[in-house]
Amino acid sequence: MSVIAKHLGKRYSNGVWGARDVNFKAEQGKITVLLGPNGAGKTTTIGMLTTLLKPTRGEAIVEGSSTVEDVWKVRKLIALCPQDIHVDNNWSPLDAMKGYLMIRGISKEEGVKRSEKYLKLLDLWEVRNIPAIALSGGQRKRVAVAMVLASGAPVVFLDEPSSGLDVEARYVVWKSLREEANRGKTIVLTTHDMKEAEILGDYVVMISKGKSVAKGTVDELKDRIPYTHKIVVKNASKLPLKEHIDLGDRKIIYAKSRGEAMEIAEKIDAKSIGIEEISLEDSYLYIVGGVGNGEN
Ligand SMILES: Nc1ncnc2c1ncn2[C@@H]1O[C@H](COP(=O)(O)OP(=O)(O)OP(=O)(O)O)[C@@H](O)[C@H]1O
């Protein structure tokens, strides 16, 4: 099952372009991550891919079917975990899951089986009978993730599935998403968290100001930056070097090798200084910061 975005754009009725030109292909058995800051157009893109929003331009295609012309065909193939989740306050996680699966046409017996499996997988078994009003925000979020994974839909979209989760809960969600991808699901998720994209993304699509500006595996995206290491300087008011990125609490200088990084580091007088290999965040700053070439 594949998901294709082709020059996808959406202009809202107030004239704002939520997305301008998004292009990518999400493949079966892989986790495709749409990575971008607040307001980049990730939710708008997910809306078009899931038939909730009609594109103003371009095409969204799920397994060969257009999300505009074949709405119901597409809807049968997909499940969506939205950014803002609503679980009825009186329903327990177990009831909510069973109800959701029933609506999706899954038999009662199978629904119970799947609910149990995914509540355990998402570490919700202990709270399965507690009314949702008594759950934490993170537990509610995990209920929603459990629902879409249990749906059996071959294509799953998740809009910021781990925002608001603590470290432990994030790992639980990440592990369950990886298992589902390994079982052959096509997973498309959004995040603004570089670490999440780096850990989870088999394929990462960087979105900036409504456009997909770069895409590829994490390693491919890292190769777009002509550096291998960075010197991270904390609490330094001034640096003797002109070329650095100022991130407020940290200042970053890039180097083409560990040796070069060590040479630069020796010249800097600061209390806290470290040398690190470059990460996806550096690649993002390089590409989205306008130094790299845009791509579509
Ligand atoms: N219903 C709407 N009507 C008008 N403008 C909208 C609407 N929804 C989103 N926008 C605008 O479209 C742009 C993209 O928003 P979108 O929610 O898609 O971004 P995002 O990348 O998902 O951001 P976040 O990480 O904050 O969720 C923003 O400028 C936003 O203000």
Q: Are residues 7 and 77 in the same domain?
A: yes
| 8 Å CB contact between 60 and 4 | yes
Other beta carbons less than 10 A from residue 277's beta carbon: 12
Task: Answer yes or no: is the ipTM higher than 0.95.
Answer: yes
Q: Are residues 119 and 240 in the same domain?
A: no
Q: Are residues 240 and 120 in the same domain?
A: no
- Hey, which of 42, 52, 81, 162 would you mutate to test ligand 1's pocket, going by the most ligand atoms within 8 Å of its Cβ? 42
Residue 116 burial (10 A CB sphere; 0-12, 13-18, 19+)? middle
Distance from Cα 112 to the centre of ligand 1, integer Å: 37
What is the mean predicted confidence (pLDDT) over 11-26?
97
Q: Are residues 98 and 172 in the same domain?
A: yes
- Label residue 150 by pLDDT band (50, 70, 90): very high
The pLDDT tens digits of the residues spanning 72-120 come to: 999 999 999 998 877 788 899 999 999 999 999 999 999 999 999 999 9
Q: Are residues 172 and 233 in the same domain?
A: no
HEC per residue, 137-157: HHHHHHHHHHHHHHCCCCEEE
Q: Is residue 285 part of a domain?
A: no
The pLDDT tens digits of the residues spanning 242-256 come to: 577 777 777 888 899
Ligand 1 lined by 14 (C-beta under 6 Å): yes
The pLDDT tens digits of the residues spanning 155-184 come to: 999 999 988 888 888 999 999 999 999 999
What is the CATH number for 55?
3.40.50.300
Ligand 1 lined by 191 (C-beta under 6 Å): no
Q: Which residues contact 174 (CB under 8 A, 6 or more apart)?
A: 162, 196, 199, 200
Say how many residues make up the chain: 296
The count of structural domains within the chain is 2
Containing structural domain, residue 63: 3-222
Q: Are residues 65 and 114 in the same domain?
A: yes
pLDDT at 294: 40
Q: Is residue 288 part of a domain?
A: no
